[in-house]
Amino acid sequence: MSSSAVEPDSPDLVCQLDSVQGMVDALTSVRWKRHQDAVVELSEHGIVLIVEDTGCLQAKVYLQRELFVSYEYNAQGRPRFGVSLGLFVDCLNTFSVPGRSNTIEFQYPGPDMQLLLKSVDSLNACIYAEIRTRIPDTISWDYNFEPAGSTPLSFTVKSSALKEAIDDLEWPGSSIQIILQPVPPSITFRGEGHGDLQVTLTSFDPSCGEHQVEFSQSHWFGSCFDVHRYKYKFLRATTSNIPSSVIKDNRGSKLTIGLGGMLKVQHLVSLARPSHPHIDSAGYQQPSRIAYIEFFVKPEVDEDTGNGS
């Protein structure tokens, strides 16, 4: 090789993941439309996938570096690229075999700025795929989520109970009020459409003998109600596509209401390998094997005042 030869540029990222199904579950949770574009951001800390809808709803899937078997990051800054979320999920599904661990390698960019995927643990065959990427039309804007006051107004609900409550309130084009009552501590989801329907979750449900909701106790020393209103289709998107396997795990979903009524909904999705779950001596799965999902929902705006409800 002559001294003038130039080494080809290293890819921005080459990484391997041993739980393809877990990644499919996480991305499926934010796929609320058939045709949906996503922005993928790479960094030395991991991968973030961002989707949004009409400036009123945004979701992020955080895949931390610790989730990957290997993670070789060579980029300067934080590269971003656009991709079809549906195509990405469907492609990942071809690498997943139910009941067994599958290791997949990701590389970005390829020779023509593609996202390259390759199976690396199959003895009989190798699956290879290329996904065309694009330059994002607009940079996804981060929601300025700020706590309402010095103490965040938050509560944790069983994922299955939250999904069931929202599903029960389905009315096309309706609004949903979230009403927080301090005494006794409860959270009410109230649908407003061609009638009136509401679901109330309390800290303890005597019918099943279980705690449904855990509240941020410091907030409930007050005596006033907090009422916020959201478009049903956006609120439903925060739970409607969570896979049944994730709901079955029944991890808690955390809801936080910030300044101006901005709602943040957080879910946890397990990425542990089926045959080698990372569980500590106390029976809890290690945080490094968890994908974090966040939804941000803007409240409805009163057209007369221009303020949130």
Closest CA to 153 of 229, 296, 260, 256: 256
What residues pair up with 197 in beta bridges, in sequence order?
191
User: How do the pLDDT tens digits run along the chain, 309 residues long?
Assistant: 433 443 457 899 999 999 899 999 999 999 998 889 999 999 999 999 999 988 889 999 999 999 999 999 999 989 999 999 999 999 999 988 766 678 999 999 999 999 999 998 776 778 899 999 998 876 556 666 776 666 667 888 888 889 999 998 887 678 899 988 777 778 889 987 666 788 888 875 655 545 567 776 544 444 456 788 999 999 999 999 998 888 877 678 999 988 888 999 999 998 875 444 444 433 444 455 899 999 999 998 765 445 554
Q: Give the separation between CA 205 and CA 201, rounded to whole angstroms.
A: 8
Superfamily (CATH H level) for 13-131? DNA Polymerase III, subunit A, domain 2 (3.10.150.10)
Q: Is 16 helix (H, G, I), strand (E, B) or coil?
A: strand
Q: Is 72 helix (H, G, I), strand (E, B) or coil?
A: strand
Is the distance from CB of 251 to CB of 239 less than 8 angstroms? no
What residues pair up with 81 in beta bridges, in sequence order?
40
pTM (2 d.p.) = 0.84
Place of tokens 């993670």: 71
Is the distance from CB of 15 to CB of 105 less than 8 angstroms? yes
Is the distance from CB of 239 to CB of 163 less than 8 angstroms? yes
**Predicted local distance difference test score (pLDDT) of residue 197:** 84
May I ask the CATH architecture of the domain 153-266+279-297? Roll (3.10)
Q: In the chain, which residues fall in CATH 3.10.150.10?
A: 13-131, 153-266+279-297
Q: Give the separation between CA 30 and CA 56, rounded to whole angstroms.
A: 14
Is the distance from CB of 21 to CB of 272 less than 8 angstroms? no
Pairing status of strand 46-53 against strand 186-192? unpaired
Is the distance from CB of 237 to CB of 304 less than 8 angstroms? no
Amino acid 237 reads: A
